[in-house]
Amino acid sequence: METIKIKDEYIKLGQALKLAGLVDSGIDAKIKIQEGFVKVNGEVEVQRGKKIHAGDIIEFDGQQVRVEN
């Protein structure tokens, strides 16, 4: 499992996908999220602006990423 570090209290889901290198652009993130391909803590998430906090786990395309401060 990979990890990404955030400086603030939270990061938006679309930004987290880009930071982790799971998508190439914000448009890619938007499409993948809206189509239901992304999970946050085991639940499908369809809101690109979902706030992701330290300790959350994002799943996409067979990969998992943990968010840390």
- pLDDT reported for residue 8: 95
Q: What is the pTM of this model?
A: 0.93
Q: What is the dihedral of CA 55, 59, 64, 67, to 10 degrees?
A: -30
* Domain map (residue ranges) of the chain: 2-68
Which SS3 state, helix, strand or coil, does residue 5 take?
strand
- pLDDT reported for residue 32: 97
Interval 4-29 mean pLDDT? 96
Whole-number Cα distances in Å, 63 to 4, 8, 40: 13, 24, 12
Q: Give the strand pairing for 2-5 and 63-68.
A: parallel
Interval 16-36 mean pLDDT? 96
Topology (CATH) of 2-68 = 3.10.290
